[in-house]
A and B are shown apart, each in its own frame.
Chain A
């Protein structure tokens, strides 16, 4: 047995754009234990929720994270709408679905780029982010913002996507689809990529379930779950089956996210094909919410919880956000055990950590 020592990983580290700290207990080059700590940039958004009007909180929820901002806003709105018994117009539901899937594509492309950067493939990183720019342009075209859309409101959405813009989305997605097929072959077949991802950081289905991991991280280990199956927004009107792999390694996590890009493109095409012509985008909101609801939705990083409790006043009693990264950290720490120090950065990346979400 070698001598044990502790190596601090983060809060500042080249693979981490945001601060999280992990104490790595190592024996020679092997990690034997990983102890995380968070809270370096905790913003107290849940506490802020107990001071603002429930309508204003849409903007607070959207600012939980810059990457899955739209889906945070949608999760909060759907929770309040459920409590208030509001039936959102169908067109608004389809618009939410289109924006949600566009933001999933942008998030997964961002992650694929960071992964490529993490294993030293700079050119692949540039290609992923170049394609991602086209999706950000679509965000700007349809919502006005490239990352934070501010189009959700309790009762519906505040902007429509007109016919010509829907055509632009379709033509851009055709280009993105073609370009993704090129980078897919690099991620799936390149020898140097495979040598860094195959067989590294394996977690079994049982470990994932015991440690409560969610999203692509869980689906890569054979856990067949995706909250889009709940049928919120317009998902109940689209054909959708979760993508699952049984390998449980870094390659499987990459495979899931890559295939989900194609799935999201398919879902957007289907949603645009089925979007109703009616122009109603919202229903009037009367009174204040009274009740509680646990809303679950599938963000790019996995299942998120929005718990809202209200007692008929404009200010909520409680808003709780359980983000996917928070759920994935215990499984990450388990995965780090018995790995080489050289793989730690890559393994941390493969859960697609979003510290901004976690520090809500």
Chain B
């Protein structure tokens, strides 16, 4: 195969810049791929990955925030993010506001609230 794959890119941003950067990436041809949360040293690391299916490049936006900070939903710009944002909310307890389709803790039929979030560290 003759294809030159660019290296994965990781861009650190503030929560307030999230919507702007997501819009810019979408306009430049990137497609939303995934979003995930990680609880590292008491803070949330939120990653939003976008792929360019022409070049196979992967660009990830990273927000590091405290666990009480509210993060805007990107679902108005990227409908595909609905599941991912509900997952971050239900499994980690990330405070995401204005999700286009908020399942209100009913996407995952699990008993515990935010089993992988702050509560887990306190255990």
Contact = CB atoms under 8 A, between A and B. Distances in A.
Interface of A: 21, 35-40, 42, 44, 46-47, 209-212, 223-225, 227, 229-231, 235-236, 238-240, 292-294, 296, 303, 305, 307, 309, 317-318, 320, 322, 326-327, 329-330
11 contacts: A37-B106, A38-B107, A39-B109, A231-B5, A292-B10, A294-B49, A294-B58, A305-B34, A305-B49, A320-B36, A329-B83
A240 B1 contact: yes
A309 B45 CA distance: 11
Contacts of A224: 53
Interface in B30-60: 31-34, 36, 38, 40, 45, 47, 49, 51, 53, 56, 58, 60
Interface residues of B, number: 35
A210 B80 contact: yes
Closest 5 interchain pairs by CB?
Answer: A212-B80, A39-B108, A318-B38, A322-B34, A39-B109
Given A47-B120, A212-B32, A37 B80 contact: no
- Secondary structure class of chain A's binding surface, majority of residues: mixed
B53 A225 contact: yes
Give the dominant DSSP class at B's interface.
mixed
B103 to A, nearest CB: 7
Contacts of B45: 309, 318
Interface string B69-83: 000000000111111
B56 A307 contact: no
Contact of B53 (A21, A223, A231, A235): A223
B8 interface: yes
Interface of B: 1, 3, 5, 8, 10, 31-34, 36, 38, 40, 45, 47, 49, 51, 53, 56, 58, 60, 78-83, 103, 106-110, 115-116, 120
A230 B82 contact: no
Contacts of A303: 33
Contacts of B1: 229, 231, 235-236, 238-240
Contacts of B8: 293-294
Contact of A46 (B32, B78, B116): B116
A309 B10 CA distance: 13
Contacts of A42: 108, 110
A38 B107 CA distance: 6
B108 A37 contact: yes
Contacts of B34: 305, 322, 327
Contact of A211 (B40, B80, B103, B108): B80
Contacts of A46: 116
B103 A37 contact: yes
A326 B83 contact: yes
Contacts of A47: 115-116, 120
A296 B5 CA distance: 12
